[in-house]
Amino acid sequence: MSGLLIESENDSDENTVSSKESIASRNKFGPKLTQVGNTHLYDGAHEVYKVQEKLENYTRRLSQLGLGLDSEGSSEISRPSSSIALSPTQHSHTLNSGEISHQPSIHPKSPNKSKTHSPTPRLRRSVSSKSPQSTKIQIKFQPIGSIPQLRPNTCKISSHKPFSTINVFLKKRLKVENVFCYINNSFAPSPNERIGDLWAQFKVNDELIISYCAIVAFG
């Protein structure tokens, strides 16, 4: 619950920052617009809004003509650097049913630009400074059976890493060929799950408890 509250609080902050930044990024559309912005921004709030409105109209017109800023670039500017990059929609390959039978190749090397070009920015997960996604989280290791104990038995790891990182780390530290990891002595997470998400859902006293074993412990 607290995680949700923290996220929602920061989301609003981020939106504010994001909107300011995106205005800044729009100023880069052309020298003429930058000049207009610089001249009037100091004249008062009313003038600022007028400039913003003009910029927005200009952006809209550029989008309609398909001449807008590269969406990759604009999204990079409007998001904090800690954001987790997610899927681009501008490169998504659209397959209409029936196309397949007419196309001998199913793996085009480069997507069809006329179909895929879109001004839609890349979708990104919101990451705030207080959320577990952007920080390091604490993990407590517990051995099961005859496998050696890790010393120290706690460590911190970046929350955006996949769970497979833990597996690799344990194999390296313990110098074993196989290691089976479980959360809260219950289940083995999927190797591609983010550690931060697991921490948010299964933490005990702000620690993610991972048990490890040389053989299968919980089938």
Measured from the CB atom, is 49 or 187 closer to other proteins? 187
For the bound state, the minimum distance from the C-beta of residue 92 to other proteins, rounded and expressed in Å, comes to 5
91 binds other proteins per the rule CB under 8 A: yes
DSSP assignment of the chain: -HHHHHHHHHHHHHHHHHHHHHHHHHGGG-HHHHHHHHHHTTS-HHHHHHHHHHHHHHHHHHHHHT-SPPHHHHHHHHS-TTSBP---STTPPP--TTHHHH-S-SS-SS--HHHH---PPPP-B---TTSGGGSEEEEEEEE-TTSPPPSSSEEEEETTSBTHHHHHHHHHHHT-S--EEEETTTBPPPTTSBHHHHHHHH-BTTEEEEEEESS----
Over the window 140 to 179, marking each residue x when it contacts other proteins by CB under 8 A and - when it does not, the resulting string is ----------------------x-----------------
15 binds other proteins per the rule CB under 8 A: yes
114 binds other proteins per the rule CB under 8 A: no
Measured from the CB atom, is 143 or 162 closer to other proteins? 162
**Rule CB under 8 A: which residues touch other proteins?**
1, 3-5, 7-8, 11, 14-15, 18, 86-89, 91-98, 100, 104-108, 111, 118, 120-121, 123-126, 162, 183-184, 186-194, 197-198, 200-202, 218-219
